[in-house]
């Protein structure tokens, strides 16, 4: 199964990573690789604790689209 994750590089260092399809499923790490390992563990824990029908509903409720938004800076 593939699940989208979003990485945010923190100003003070490290990364925060979260899963838009799984509310509250968030982790972090000092490196991107560590953050990926940590979120993988968090996802495993999350999906093992949730009802399978609810999981299907959550996974189908969000999609990601990357696009450019013009802004004036």
> What mean pLDDT is predicted for residues 12-23?
94
Q: What is d(CA 56, CA 54) in angstroms, rounded to the nearest whole number?
A: 5
Helix H or strand E encompassing 14? none
Q: Is residue 51 part of a domain?
A: yes
Question: How many structural domains comprise the chain?
Answer: 1
Q: Is 18 left (phi over 0), alpha (psi -120 to 50) or beta?
A: beta
Q: What is d(CA 72, CA 49) in angstroms, rounded to the nearest whole number?
A: 44
- 46: domain CATH number is 3.30.160.250
> What mean pLDDT is predicted for residues 46-71?
86
Q: Is residue 11 part of a domain?
A: yes
| 62 pLDDT higher than 80 | no
| 63 pLDDT higher than 90 | no
Q: Do 48 and 33 meet the contact criterion of CB atoms below 8 Å apart?
A: no
> What mean pLDDT is predicted for residues 39-54?
93
For the chain, percent of residues with pLDDT exceeding 90: 62
């Amino acid at each position: 199964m593939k699940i989208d994750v979003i990485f945010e590089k923190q100003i003070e260092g490290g990364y925060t990573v979260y899963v838009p399809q799984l509310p509250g499923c968030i982790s972090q790490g000092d490196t991107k690789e560590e953050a990926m390992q940590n979120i993988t563990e968090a996802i495993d824990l999350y999906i093992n604790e949730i009802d399978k029908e609810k999981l299907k509903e959550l996974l189908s409720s969000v999609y990601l689209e990357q696009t450019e938004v013009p802004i004036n800076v």
